[in-house]
Amino acid sequence: MDQTSQTSQTYRVTGMTCEHCARAVTEEVSAVTGVSGVDVDVEAGTVVVRGSQISDEGVRAAVEEAGYAVA
For residue 44, the tally of other CB atoms under 10 A from its CB is 12
Q: Please tell me what DSSP assigns to residue 42.
A: T
State the average pLDDT over residues 8-19: 97
16-67 per-position pLDDT tens digit: 999 999 999 999 999 999 999 999 999 999 999 999 999 999 999 999 999 9
Write the CA distances from 53 to 8, 16, 50, integer angstroms.
Answer: 10, 26, 10
State the average pLDDT over residues 4-27: 94
Domains in the chain, please, with CATH? 3-70 (3.30.70.100)
Residue 5 confidence (pLDDT): 77
| Whether the predicted pLDDT of 11 surpasses 70 | yes
Phi, psi of 6, rounded to the nearest 5 degrees: -80, 135
CB-based contacts of 4, cutoff 8 Å, min separation 6: none
Residues 55 and 34: their CA atoms lie apart, in Å, by 8
